[in-house]
């Protein structure tokens, strides 16, 4: 608690003033929490002063509240880049991150319990900066960090606003922000050290060294083989304990063969509904879903089946969810592995070549670009399209295929393309495409 109050004083979070007439200050309280390390051991005991922001009024005490965070799939993509190119990956933690954000509104708060002096007992805190619990606290911090990091030369990613990049010749640097957790990625150690030094000069930071644990996910590296593994064994243990499955049997599959879930399995009587209302079905689904998003794609099908019945789950649905937890108990030490080995790249290339051959045999028009077809054809206004389909292809590479079928038209293209048959029922249609072949060549060359 004393450390928290020292942080408040250093950041000049508030000033003590006489309570304004007609203004009712919001309250505050102390929240205590244990911070767990990657092995599940208690690392630190934290005391956090939190404002009772739920009493604030929209339009009076705050306006905008949205604040972005990095999606975990973005983090995984960059970790795959780290493994492939053998980049360095460092981690930092921002101490009392929200206290760095500046408030635009006038907000008054009562003094924290245990730190009220007799001479100032009647005064209230006029907040100058964000504090945990305020509706706009996260947004204020994010805006402040974004301004600071861009002044240092980083460029914000348009599609992922919490990922930043910086290039200087052959030196590459990336920065990922997840609230107060920061990952710094790059191929030049002195540059990464300069980023850490700059960050520490702007904010109160804790240097965690090489990244090993973030958002409940362990990071293992075998740099000799250029492999990077992600594991959630500690998180899964916590989930099993939460739902009393720690001593259960170990499941062989996430969903047993022949299991068919339906609405007929939902409760039909008030007694059954009352009994199922005591079961944390939705909480279990949400806990399993986080593991699926981060490191366990093998749970996707089972979770898609069970999550459909969260509004009114039955005993059979809950039994299936418990079976997923049993499977997690047996496979909690499974890793999601990214690597830069030639074998992994070879497997990806073979899969890509197979997809190319398969789609070529379908003999339909394919355009890789997401732009309008007008950018692909020399005379787009002469084409009348009768159908547009989108096909998502996911391997180690990802892209979008746009399938276009034209009618009553013929266009001249450079030689070497395969003629396509006319599915519209009219003869004379000949369309050709080469962009897919070019893409395959580029992918094969890059691997």
| Res. 393: pLDDT tops 70 | no
| Res. 189: pLDDT tops 90 | yes
CA separation for the pair 331, 367 (Å, rounded): 41
pLDDT digits (tens, 9 = 90+) for 160-180: 899 999 998 899 999 999 988
The contacts of residue 369 (CB under 8 Å, 6+ apart) are: 375, 376, 402, 435
Q: In terms of domains, do 21 and 146 share one?
A: yes
Residue 48 lies in a domain: yes
- pLDDT above 70 as % of the chain: 77
| Res. 414: pLDDT tops 50 | no
Domain end marker among 297, 330, 363: 330
Q: In terms of domains, do 170 and 274 share one?
A: no
Q: What is the domain extent for residue 437?
A: 342-446
pLDDT for 346 equals: 63
Structure tokens of 198? Answer: 């700059």
| Res. 369: pLDDT tops 70 | no
Q: In terms of domains, do 324 and 349 share one?
A: no
pLDDT digits (tens, 9 = 90+) for 98-119: 888 888 888 889 888 888 888 8
pLDDT digits (tens, 9 = 90+) for 204-258: 888 989 999 888 899 999 888 888 999 999 999 999 999 999 888 888 889 888 8
- pLDDT above 90 as % of the chain: 31
Q: In terms of domains, do 118 and 139 share one?
A: yes
Q: In terms of domains, do 290 and 211 share one?
A: no
Mean confidence (pLDDT) of the chain = 78
pLDDT for 52 equals: 87
Q: How far apart are the first and last CA of the chain?
A: 53
Q: In terms of domains, do 195 and 72 share one?
A: yes
Task: Give per-residue burial for 102-120: e unless 16+ CB within 10 Å, then b.
Answer: ebeeebbbbbbeeeeeeee
| Ramachandran sector of residue 209 (left: φ over 0; alpha: ψ -120 to 50; beta: rest) | left
Q: What separation in angstroms does the CA of 244 have from each of 239, 247, 328?
A: 9, 8, 13
Residue 379 lies in a domain: yes
Q: In terms of domains, do 249 and 192 share one?
A: no
pLDDT for 345 equals: 59
Helix, strand, coil percentages for the chain (3-state, nearest 5): 35, 25, 40
Of 136, 140, 162, 139, residue with least CA distance to 149: 162
Residue 223 lies in a domain: no
| Ramachandran sector of residue 162 (left: φ over 0; alpha: ψ -120 to 50; beta: rest) | alpha
Q: How many domains does the chain have?
A: 3
pLDDT digits (tens, 9 = 90+) for 44-98: 788 888 888 887 777 766 778 888 889 998 999 899 889 888 999 999 998 888 8
| Res. 374: pLDDT tops 50 | no
Lowest mean pLDDT among 18-22, 161-165, 318-322, 417-421: 417-421
CA separation for the pair 380, 360 (Å, rounded): 23
Lowest mean pLDDT among 11-20, 175-184, 362-371, 411-420: 411-420
Residue 146 lies in a domain: yes
| Res. 444: pLDDT tops 60 | no
Residue 227 lies in a domain: no
Q: In terms of domains, do 115 and 12 share one?
A: yes
Average pLDDT over residues 319-347: 83
Q: In terms of domains, do 15 and 151 share one?
A: yes
């Amino acid at each position: 608690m004393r450390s928290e109050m020292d942080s408040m004083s250093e950041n000049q979070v508030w000033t003590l003033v006489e309570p304004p007439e007609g203004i009712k200050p919001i309250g505050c309280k102390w929240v205590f929490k244990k911070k767990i390390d990657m092995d599940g051991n208690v690392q630190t005991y934290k005391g956090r002063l939190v404002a009772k922001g739920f009493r604030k009024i929209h339009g009076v005490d705050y306006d905008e509240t949205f604040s972005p965070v990095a999606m975990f799939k973005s983090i995984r993509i960059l970790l795959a880049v780290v493994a492939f190119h053998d980049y360095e990956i460092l981690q930092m933690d921002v101490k009392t991150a929200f206290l760095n954000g500046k408030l635009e509104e006038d907000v008054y708060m009562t003094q924290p319990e245990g730190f009220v002096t007799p001479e100032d007992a009647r005064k209230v805190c006029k907040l100058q900066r964000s504090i945990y619990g305020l509706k706009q606290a996260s947004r204020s911090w994010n805006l402040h960090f974004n301004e600071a990091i861009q002044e240092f030369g980083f460029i914000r990613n348009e599609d992922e606003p919490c990922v930043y990049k910086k290039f200087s010749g052959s030196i590459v640097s990336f920065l990922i922000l997840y609230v107060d957790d920061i990952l710094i990625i790059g191929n030049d150690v002195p540059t990464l050290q300069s980023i850490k030094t700059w960050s520490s000069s702007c904010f109160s930071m804790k240097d965690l060294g090489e990244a090993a644990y973030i958002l409940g996910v362990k990071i293992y590296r075998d740099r000799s083989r250029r492999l990077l593994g992600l594991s959630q064994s500690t998180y899964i243990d916590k989930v099993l304990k939460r739902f009393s499955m720690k001593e259960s049997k170990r499941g062989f599959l996430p969903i047993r063969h022949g299991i068919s879930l339906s609405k007929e399995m939902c409760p039909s009587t008030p007694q059954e509904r009352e009994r199922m209302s005591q079961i944390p079905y939705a909480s279990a689904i949400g806990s399993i879903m986080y593991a699926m998003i981060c490191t366990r794609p093998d749970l996707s099908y089972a979770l898609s089946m069970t999550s459909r019945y969260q509004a009114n789950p039955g005993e059979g649905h809950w039994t299936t969810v418990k079976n997923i937890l049993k499977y997690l108990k047996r496979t909690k030490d499974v890793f999601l592995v990214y690597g830069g080995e030639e074998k992994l790249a070879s497997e990806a290339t073979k899969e890509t070549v197979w997809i190319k051959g398969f789609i070529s045999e379908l003999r339909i028009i394919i355009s890789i670009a997401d732009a309008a077809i007008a950018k692909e054809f020399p005379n787009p206004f002469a084409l009348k399209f009768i159908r547009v389909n989108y096909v998502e292809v996911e391997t180690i590479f990802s892209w979008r295929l746009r399938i276009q079928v034209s009618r009553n038209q013929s266009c001249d293209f450079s030689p070497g393309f395969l003629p396509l048959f006319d599915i519209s029922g009219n003869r004379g249609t000949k369309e050709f495409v080469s962009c897919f072949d070019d893409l395959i060549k580029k992918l094969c060359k890059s691997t």
